[in-house]
Amino acid sequence: MSATSRSDFDEGGGRVTGGAEVDARATVGQAAGRAQVVAWGLWDWGASAFNAVILTFVFSVYLTNKVGDDLPGGVSPSAWLGWALGIAGFVVALTAPISGQRYDASAKRKRSLGVLTALTILTMALMFFVHDDYHYFWLGLVLLGFGSAFFELAGVPYNAMLRQVSTPTDVGRVSGFGWAMGYFGGIFILLISYFGFISGHGDNRGLLGVPIDDGTNIRLVVMLAAVWFAAFALPVLFAVPELPHTDADPGAAKAGFFGSYQVLWRDLRELWAVDRRTVGFLVAAAIFRDGLAGVFTFGAILAVRVYGIADSDVLLFGIAANVVAALGALTAGRFDDRLGPKIVIVTSLVAMVICGIALLIVSGPVMFWVFGLLLTIFVGPAQSAARSFLARLAPPGREGQMFGLYTTTGRAVSFLAPALFGFFVWAFDADRAGIVGILVVLTVGVAALLPVRSPDGIPQSGTFAP
């Protein structure tokens, strides 16, 4: 096998030579121009439509509360939804590592991102045909399950691209920029959806006066979300070049489905023998990321039931929380590049624990706004720095495999925060006590991360400034 150097790529990052495998190190910073970084971040801006509109605030609520309202049988629509998403998550957990591995080895990372994004958008568009009738509940459930799986799998090649669009000097800032774009994109699509199609009373809603009969306004919001995702996902597919064939993972490209698991096991044994911190970080990150997810999952519930926030103000708090989390991610990216991602993660998690303890003591809407926003400002930095930490650790050319494992390990422990939240609520017969469960997860995550050595060679300066 022959290897080429960085000079074998043109200025736009495309392959100049053909046929031979290249040294995987040449792919680091392969497309690290400002235009490529912005195009990469725009995918996250567009992808926020699936998380915000489909999965969290609009379609899932419509499906369970409206479409499934008259569903016959003894199982509630919410239970069916939980099972469908659980099955989708199980499929993702099983396939994400070998999928990322194959995207890298076959030099089809960008193509895979395009295909999985297109499939996600297709499921979103088909949700327009889920009418307000329980007979359509199963169609909505299947589409939501498939869409969730496609979306999570698309995140594997997308996150792996971070190594291509950044250099070792600015990976933290680029990662923070991507997270911030996702937060801001979610805010914008929710505001457009709410004021344009949902707000108000009567038979016609929003500034556009869309009828609510047969769920028309919600189905149009879903179609808007699909178009939004499609529009903002396109730039990265044009601006960032395809990953070249590399010598990073011998035999992975030709392995079949079951053979891919053998390659994965071989690579994990190699990682364990050469640098165990990657495994240690994957475990620690899985734990504290579940705690971060718990903050947003249960934040709205606590706001209303414990601190007296009005139902109508929950959306406002959610918008404010996303804004401060985005600003936190942007700011922390600079510290990530100067000091390293580990110190950013540890500082953020410790600060969140302190704010969480304060929330256990204080009462009232004002105090929740103060300490709730202080807590969420550290969520973005922790998420962003976790991604840059793994990007720095991943062997060049095998980023897809590593981020596939990142997805799988996260799925494996995703029960921790919900289970502990529920346990402490039950044990103390108080919703406020559920905060303790989330704090326990964050604390264990910090404890698991502390022994993990920081990535080598944290640079002191960078070139990218969002």
What local confidence, expressed as pLDDT, does residue 13 receive?
38
Nearest to 68 by CA among 140, 147, 143, 148: 140
Q: 361: closest CA among 432, 298, 302? A: 432
* CA gap 143, 440 in Å, rounded: 35
Q: What is the mean pLDDT of the chain?
A: 85
Most confident of 71-85, 100-114, 127-141: 127-141
* Residue 246 phi, psi (nearest 5): -125, 170
357 SS3 class: helix
Summarised one tens digit per residue, pLDDT across range 153-182 is 999 999 988 988 998 888 999 999 999 999
pLDDT for res 260: 72
Task: List, for residues 264-309, the tens digit of each pLDDT value.
Answer: 777 778 777 777 888 899 999 999 999 998 887 788 778 878 888 8
Residues 199-217 have a mean pLDDT of: 93
Query: What pLDDT, on the 0 to 100 scale, is given for residue 33?
Result: 84
List, for residues 349-381, the tens digit of each pLDDT value: 999 999 999 999 999 999 999 999 999 999 999
Q: Closest by alpha carbon to 88, among 154, 158, 147?
A: 147
pLDDT band at residue 29 using 50, 70 and 90 as cut-offs: low
pLDDT at 75 over 80: yes
Contact by Cβ (8 Å): 442, 356? yes
Q: Supply the pLDDT for residue 135.
A: 93
- Distance CA(76)–CA(367), nearest Å, equals 36
Kindly tell me if the per-residue pLDDT of 253 is higher than 60.
no
